Amino acid sequence: MAAELTTLCYLIRDGKYLMLHRTVKHNDVNKDKWIGVGGHFEADESPEECVIREVREETGYTLLDWNYRGIVTFISGTGITEYMSLFTSDRFTGTPADCDEGQLEWIGMDRVPSLNLWAGDLIFFRLLDEGAPFFSLKLVYNGNGILQEAVCNGKPMELFDVLDPDTGRKTGTVQERGVVHREGYAHATVHMWVTRRQNAPATGIPGETPAGEGCGTDVLLQLRARDKDSHPDCFDTSSAGHIQAGDTADDSAVREIGEELGLCCTAADFRPVGIHVNRCDDIFYGRPFHDCEWSHVYVFDRPFTAGDLALQESEIQSVRWMDLEECLHSVRDGSLRSCISADELEMVKQFLN
C-alpha cells in the first residue's frame, strides 16, 4: 500500500486561523484550496518534530506549544493513503515570512466555511471548534474530489447531498450532517404522515378517536427522544429522516419508516403530497443549529395495529394518534410542544380532502 505521513497545523490568534491559499504549484493536489500549514515527514521525525519544522519553514513562526488534536486518514482515489497528524497552536513567536507555496492570511473563524476547502476539512474544523477530544477521522474521496465516506472514531458519519437553497437542485457537493446543520446548507429529507380515518377499526394506539365517534382523520405523532441533537422531547411528524447522499426520496421513506416505526412496506405504500421547504435557526446544547430542509412529504394510510410497531428507542419515546384538525390548531397556537410545521400539516390536510 502506498502511504504518506504528513502534519497540518492551524495557528490561532484573535479568533482567526492562519490559512494558506495554495496557488503556486501547478500539479498541487491542493491547488487553489485553503489549508493550514504543514508537510511531509522527513526521515526519523516524530509528528511533533515534523510540525515544528514545517511551521517554521512555511511561516517563519516557531511553535512554543501545541495541541495534538487528531489523526486524519485521507483516501483520495489516487491509490495513495495519507495519514495526517492534525495540530493547533495559539503560542508561537517569530517574524512572519512569505511562503513559497502560496499566500498566508489570517482568516476569521466564522469566514472559514466560505473559503474553497475540501469538504472533509469542514468536518475536522467542526470537531476542532467544538473542542472534541483527540479523534481519528477517515475521509474517502472519489477521483473527482467528492466526499464519499467519513468515519469518526470508527463510526460512520451521515453524508448529505448539498442542495441549492432556492431551487432544491443538487450542487454536486456532499457534506457531513453536523456541518450541514452548523452552516445551514440546504439538504433533502423525507416526512411520512401516517393517517387513519376515524371510522376505521381500532389500532390500540393511544389517542385514536373511537370508531363511530368521528368522521375526520387522525394523524400519528411521534415523541422525539430526550437526547436528540435537535428538538428533543418534542412531538414530530409520524416518521422522518434525511436523504443520504446518492439515495432517492422513495427509498429513504421506506428505510426510515422501517427503522423508526418497524413498519415493513414498499414505495407503493406511500402517496406523495409534495415538497415543503422548512427553515429553522435555533440553539441546542449551547451550539447553533441551522436547518434548511427540502422535505419530500408522503401520506401512509395502510391499516396496521399497535402490534405491528417496533419503535426505535434511540429516536422515539412513544407515538399517539391526534385528530388532524386539533393537531393543526395546537401547532398553530403553540399549545403542542412540537417541531411540526403548520404549513406542511395544512398541505397534508388539503391533500386528504
User: What is the predicted pLDDT for the residue at 1?
Assistant: 64
Q: Could you give the number of structural domains in the chain? A: 2
Residue range 265-282, pLDDT digits in tens: 999 999 999 999 999 999
Q: Are residues 6 and 83 in the same domain?
A: yes
**One-letter identity of residue 349:** K
User: What is the predicted pLDDT for the residue at 209?
Assistant: 82
Q: Judge whether 180 lies within some domain.
A: no
Whether the pLDDT of residue 212 is over 70: the answer is no
Q: Judge whether 113 lies within some domain.
A: yes
Rounded to a whole number of angstroms, the distance between the first and last alpha carbons of the chain is: 62
The arithmetic mean of pLDDT across residues 153-172, rounded, is 97
Q: Are residues 105 and 200 in the same domain?
A: no
Q: Are residues 151 and 191 in the same domain?
A: no
**In the chain, % of residues over pLDDT 90:** 89
Whether the pLDDT of residue 80 is over 90: the answer is no
Q: Are residues 152 and 239 in the same domain?
A: no
Q: Judge whether 164 lies within some domain.
A: no
Q: Are residues 200 and 331 in the same domain?
A: yes
User: What is the predicted pLDDT for the residue at 79?
Assistant: 79
Q: Judge whether 178 lies within some domain.
A: no
All three cell numbers of 27: 500539479
The arithmetic mean of pLDDT across residues 110-139, rounded, is 96
Q: What is the pTM of this model?
A: 0.92
With beta carbons less than 8 A apart as the criterion, state whether 244 and 177 touch: no
Whether the pLDDT of residue 344 is over 90: the answer is yes
Q: Are residues 141 and 6 in the same domain?
A: yes
**In the chain, % of residues over pLDDT 70:** 99
Q: What are phi and psi of 123, to 5 degrees?
A: -70, -50
The arithmetic mean of pLDDT across residues 58-69, rounded, is 97
Q: Judge whether 150 lies within some domain.
A: yes
User: What is the predicted pLDDT for the residue at 30?
Assistant: 80
User: What is the predicted pLDDT for the residue at 217?
Assistant: 95
User: What is the predicted pLDDT for the residue at 269?
Assistant: 97
User: What is the predicted pLDDT for the residue at 180?
Assistant: 98
The arithmetic mean of pLDDT across residues 2-28, rounded, is 91
Q: Are residues 34 and 148 in the same domain?
A: yes
The arithmetic mean of pLDDT across residues 182-204, rounded, is 95
Domain with 114 in it? 2-157
Q: Are residues 135 and 193 in the same domain?
A: no
CATH number at residue 44: 3.90.79.10
Cα 160 from Cα 148, distance rounded (Å): 10
Q: Are residues 32 and 132 in the same domain?
A: yes
Tally of CB atoms within 10 A around 98: 10
User: pLDDT class for 213, splitting at 50, 70, 90?
Assistant: confident
With beta carbons less than 8 A apart as the criterion, state whether 108 and 18 touch: no
Residue range 175-191, pLDDT digits in tens: 999 999 999 999 999 99
Which of 157, 178, 208 terminates a domain? The answer is 157
Calculate the alpha carbon distances from 175 to 117, 141, 190 in Å: 12, 12, 18
Three-state secondary structure of the chain:
CEEEEEEEEEEEECCEEEEEEECCCCCCCCCCCEECEEEECCCCCCHHHHHHHHHHHHHCCEEEEEEEEEEEEEECCCCEEEEEEEEEEEEEECCCCCECCEEEEEEECCCHHHCCCCHHHHHHHHHHHCCCCCEEEEEEECCCCCEEEEEECCEECCEEEEECCCCCCEEEEEEEHHHHHHHCCEEEEEEEEEEEECCCCCCCCCCCCCCCCCCCEEEEEEEECCCCCCCCCCEECCEEEECCCCCCHHHHHHHHHHHHHCCCCCHHHCEEEEEEEEEEEEEECCEEEEEEEEEEEEEECCCCCHHHCCCCCCCEEEEEEEEHHHHHHHHHHCCCCECCCHHHHHHHHHHHC
Whether the pLDDT of residue 226 is over 90: the answer is yes
Q: Are residues 62 and 102 in the same domain?
A: yes
User: What is the predicted pLDDT for the residue at 239?
Assistant: 98
- Residue 194: closest CA among 327, 314, 317: 327
Q: Judge whether 309 lies within some domain.
A: yes
Whether the pLDDT of residue 26 is over 90: the answer is no
With beta carbons less than 8 A apart as the criterion, state whether 212 and 199 touch: yes
Q: Are strands 34-35 and 80-93 parallel, antiparallel or unpaired?
A: unpaired
User: What is the predicted pLDDT for the residue at 199?
Assistant: 87
Supply the mean pLDDT for the chain. Answer: 95
Whether the pLDDT of residue 15 is over 90: the answer is yes
Q: Judge whether 166 lies within some domain.
A: no
User: pLDDT class for 159, splitting at 50, 70, 90?
Assistant: very high
The arithmetic mean of pLDDT across residues 171-176, rounded, is 96
Q: Are residues 329 and 255 in the same domain?
A: yes
Cα 186 from Cα 207, distance rounded (Å): 35
Q: Judge whether 176 lies within some domain.
A: no
Q: Are residues 83 and 212 in the same domain?
A: no
